[in-house]
Amino acid sequence: MATKSVLQLQFMTDENKKVHLSIPAPKQPVDAAAVSAALDLIVQKNIFAFSQGKIAQKIGAQLVQTDTTSIA
């Protein structure tokens, strides 16, 4: 069985649209305080561009883990 992890950072744009950034294979264990600080920095510096508008605020983050098992 193979397990993959992706850290999804979620934001709201100035056009009231949800956008996210996905970070594959984040360093474990994921530190919630560091993730929150990174979200704040991304909002403050506005370093990413989206067709849905500029990042206006953070929504949150989630760690998505997927287990894959070969059966044949």
pLDDT tens, position by position, 28-58:
999 999 999 999 999 999 989 899 999 999 9
Backbone angles phi, psi at 19, to 5 degrees: -135, 160
Single-letter amino acid, residue 28: Q
pLDDT of residue 58: 97
Whole domain around residue 11: which residue ranges? 2-68
pLDDT of residue 43: 96
Count of alpha carbons within 13 angstroms of residue 67, beta-carbon side: 3
Q: How far apart are CA 26 and CA 22, in angstroms?
A: 10
Q: Evaluate if residue 72 carries a pLDDT over 90.
A: no
As for how many domains the chain has, the answer is 1
Average pLDDT along the chain: 95
